[in-house]
Structure 1
Amino acid sequence: MLNQNLEASKKLIPYSISFEQNEAEMSLTEHLEEVRQRAFWSLSLLLITIISCVLTVKNIVKLLQEPATGIKFLQLAPGEYFFASLKVAVYTGFFISSPFIIYQIILFILPGMTRGERKTLLPVVVGSVILFIFGLACGYFFLAPAALNFFINYGSDVVEPFWSFEQYFEFILVLLFSTGLAFQLPVIQVVLGSLKIFSSRLMFSVWRYVILGSTIIGAILTPSVDPVTQIFMSSIIMVLYFGGAGLVYLIERSQSDTQTA
């Protein structure tokens, strides 16, 4: 009789544990409340940031005008400067508040992830933000002046360089954003390597195509006749690619060491 009671109690233990775990889990209402709170704080900070950028938009505009030295901007339509400056302020507000928004998203999805997924997610997100900032800096201090100098000098003896205010800022914002995305190459490689889609061995084996592709991309992103500018951009792309392949190799090696241990 005693043995039967012990066996029955052992059978009930897993059910009691699972019951307590289910009680500890958040309900659907609690999940929705958490989403509402995080969305509220994210949208509030975004709105405050955009308003602050609108109030200081002249300084932002002057900062974005720096790469185009010696150019006079024209307002070709009523309200062109007003609407273009609002667009610049909104884009800048999104950029400044994006780390906080990403942080709120991570806090929401983090409890439902495993320890291994957390170890992969956090470095990927932090590295993505850092590389995007580096891409913006590279585009602002190097690529934008090179591209603008090419467009200014090309045909300067035929036409006077007077540019539309709105079209210039669309050009500079797209250039900076595309350069920031180009710096996401190592992040994409790490994600593909973590998902076992591409291995580091395959990434290193296509080095000939990488050199050719980086040369073509460097020529496209730097529309300048200066070969030094093109070589510099191509070298950056190659460093990013092989750096990403090296990170994938280190991840694979650490995983193999863990499995061996």
Structure 2
Amino acid sequence: MSELQETFISHLVELRDRLLRAMVAVIVVFVCLMPWAGEIYDLLAKPMMNTLPEGTHMIATGVVTPFFVPVKVTMMVSFVLALPFVLYQAWAFIAPGLYAHERRLGLPLVLGSTLLFLLGMAFCYFFVFGTVFKFIAEFAPKSIVPAPDIEQYLSFVMTLFIAFGLTFEVPVAVILLVKAGVVSISKLREVRPYVIVGAFVIAAIITPPDVVSQFMLAVPMCLLYEVGILLAKFVSKRAGTEEPERVEPDLDRLEAPEPDRK
């Protein structure tokens, strides 16, 4: 019992050390970026500013909002930049408890999911924001002068960042479901119509109430679902060739040797 407790405590100590290292990495990046917090927020607000009428600016309704909002944005950027080190700490903690074949699959999934999440955020920033904000600006009546609040803008873009980042994780989710034996590839193909309908329903709930942003979230989700099926099929075939299933002999059915008749 004491040995079990010592093992449990050692794991807790290691987990604490890994979390502290990850937090220190984020804080170090944050401190380095803090002098440019205003420029970082301006970069985040650029898609919106490009669609506002000339001479129009965003507003801040709170007293300390002009300070805290750029700080929040800088913290978010710091976490994204330190994400590889954070994920390395998580991987170093769980890798010793995995089998060899699980480590071979786990590391590509961790790296792939990170890259896909960042690609989802980049797609949202470079393509979605400009299209959505332009559509809203053109739809707004001419008698209205838009002046978005910076805190509401941050909440809006964070929601879309998370939505598109998670959307781009669909291939990873499909691969994990297939590898875990929860669902087969043939079943994933059968439920394709329901997935398409569900993608548009989710897009209608998450995105602003315009058709453009809904399509820009639902269509990539459907395409990435198909990519996930193809990758799951490839991974399954590769696993089948590299690690063929070994059939253990049934000892009960082995025939006893016939006696030597002389």
SS of residue paired to 2:89: helix
Gaps of 5+ in 1: 1-21
So what's the TM-score if we normalise by structure 2? 0.80
Q: Say if 1:143 and 1:222, in contact at 8 Å, map to a contact too.
A: no
Q: Does 1:237 align with 2:221?
A: yes
The letter for the 2-side match of 1:157 is K
Compare the two structures and name the one with the higher helix fraction: 1
Which stretch of structure 1 is more off in the superposition, 43-52 or 231-240? 231-240
Alpha-carbon distance between aligned partners in 1 of 2:178 and 2:46, rounded to the nearest angstrom: 40
Q: Say if 1:150 and 1:225, in contact at 8 Å, map to a contact too.
A: no
**Match for residue 164 of structure 2 among 155, 179, 197:** 179
Q: Does 1:101 align with 2:86?
A: yes
**Match for residue 140 of structure 2 among 155, 172, 189:** 155
Shift of 1:49: 1.4
Determine the structure 1 residue equivalent to 2:231: 247
- How many residues in Structure 1 have an aligned counterpart in Structure 2? 235
Q: Say if 1:199 and 1:248, in contact at 8 Å, map to a contact too.
A: no
Determine the structure 2 residue equivalent to 1:35: 15
Determine the structure 2 residue equivalent to 1:77: 62
Alpha-carbon distance between aligned partners in 1 of 2:201 and 2:15, rounded to the nearest angstrom: 44
The letter for the 2-side match of 1:249 is K
SS of residue paired to 2:141: coil
Determine the structure 1 residue equivalent to 2:258: none
Alpha-carbon distance between aligned partners in 2 of 1:58 and 1:188, rounded to the nearest angstrom: 37
Distance verdict in 2 for CA 1:230–1:33, change over 3 Å: closer
Gaps of 5+ in 2: 247-262
Determine the structure 1 residue equivalent to 2:131: 146
- Please list, as runs of the form range in 1=range in 2, the aligned pairs for 1:1-261 lying within 5 A after superposition: 31-68=11-48, 69-71=50-52, 72-217=57-202, 221=207, 223-225=209-211, 233-257=217-241, 258-259=243-244
So what's the TM-score if we normalise by structure 1? 0.80
Shift of 1:223: 4.6
Shift of 1:45: 0.9
Percentage of matched positions with identical amino acids = 28
The letter for the 2-side match of 1:116 is H
Deviations along 1:234-261, one digit per CA (max 9) or x if unpaired, are 4322220011011111222233333258
Q: Say if 2:22 and 2:89, in contact at 8 Å, map to a contact too.
A: yes
Q: What's the RMSD between the two structures over aligned residues? A: 2.5
Shift of 1:115: 0.5
